[in-house]
Amino acid sequence: MASRPPLKMVGDLPLIAYFADNWENVENFQAEEGDLLIDTYPKSGTTWMSEIVDLVLHDGENKTSQRGAIFERVPFLEFAMPDMPTGIEKLNKMKPPRLMKSHLPVHLLPESFWEKNCKIIYVARNPKDVLVSFYHFYRMAIIHPDPGTFDEFLHQFIKGTVSYGPWADHVKDFWKIRHQRDILYLFYEDMLEDPKREIRKVMKYIGKDLPEDVVEKIHQHTTFKAMKDNPMANYSTIPSSIMDQTISPFLRKGTWGDWMSHFTVAQIEVFDEFYKKEMSDTDLTFCF
């Protein structure tokens, strides 16, 4: 298996090479009525939301959530790597309704999601913390090209040449269609501020009415510490030759504002300029 292959374009989107090579299967994926999709720009809280939704669907039963690693319970739609089952292969073996995750932008999601009116939970996170998290993820996961220095990665992120392309288009495009497509649009920072409130929003959206003690249980099972200690949630079952958690753990900091310990004053200036320009045509705002 080639280590750190360069990204490949799928239409206008730079993508992990192995994912791009499997694109035809992704494009033709048949979503079914009732399938539930968690979509995010990378490093915005996908794994956290996946664990929450899986628990909500199973009435907060921890035992059920221990039935397999998070990437088995919630397959990653566009995932592909040599000698591993693809996300599509996993999904095709599951009986609908299925829970799955993706990082694809609105315009590249397989048509079937729209045709079948599938519910979508979208999670967004402030881009400075996304960038920091993404940088460390690039360092530890050899599926990505070498990120270079933090400064080099920051400029790639601003240019939209990192995997999954421009952050701003991703978050704005889902924001624009959230009402017309019945999308639950949530924020990572809100999940940190009041996790139980956000769990309740998820429950309401998917039509699950669970008692408060179960909500509390779900919250306890999905704290950063609980997930970091849980081999079924912390990606520790992935070989270190693919994800080297000694370089950077998958569950790294789990907080907001870590960007402050990474950005120089000059980088803040460049990034704020980028943010102002990109977000001038939307009422979507982020908490830094």
Radius of gyration over every alpha carbon of the chain, rounded to an integer in angstroms? 18
The one catalytic residue among 58, 103, 136, 144: 103
DSSP string, 256-287: S-GGGGT--HHHHHHHHHHHHHHTTT-S----
156 lies in the site for ligand PPS, by CB under 6 A: no
Q: Which is nearer to ligand PPS, 88 or 227 (CB)?
A: 227
Place of tokens 């400075």: 128
Do residues 286 and 167 touch, judged by C-beta distance below 8 A?
Answer: no
288 binding ligand PPS? (CB under 6 A)? no
Minimum CB distance to ligand PPS smaller for 118 or for 243:
243
Smallest gap from residue 280 Cβ to ligand PPS (A): 26
The whole-angstrom distance between residue 57's C-alpha and the CA centroid of its chain comes to 19
Least distance to ligand PPS, CB of residue 112, Å: 22
Are the beta carbons of 122 and 178 closer than 8 angstroms?
A: yes
How far apart (Å, rounded) are the C-alpha atoms in residues 156 and 115?
Answer: 34
Shortest distance, position 180 Cβ to ligand PPS, whole Å:
25
From CA 151, how far away is CA 248, in angstroms rounded? 18
Least separation, in Å, of the C-beta of 258 and ligand PPS?
Answer: 6
Q: 103 catalytic, yes or no? A: yes
Cβ closest to ligand PPS, residue 116 vs residue 139: 139
Site string for ligand PPS, 252-271 (x = CB under 6 A): xxx---x-------------
Q: Cis (ω within 30 of 0) for the bond into 14?
A: no
CB of 276 to ligand PPS, least distance (A): 23
Query: Mask 16-55, x = binds ligand PPS (CB under 6 A)?
Result: ------------------------x-xxxxxxx-------
Residues within window 203-242 making contact with ligand PPS, judged by CB under 6 A: 222-224, 227
The SS3 call for residue 35 is coil
Q: Which residue has the tokens 């048509």?
A: 111
Task: Enumerate binding residues for ligand PPS (CB under 6 A).
Answer: 40, 42-48, 129, 133, 136-137, 222-224, 227, 251-254, 258
Would you please indicate which residues are annotated as catalytic (active-site) residues?
Answer: 103
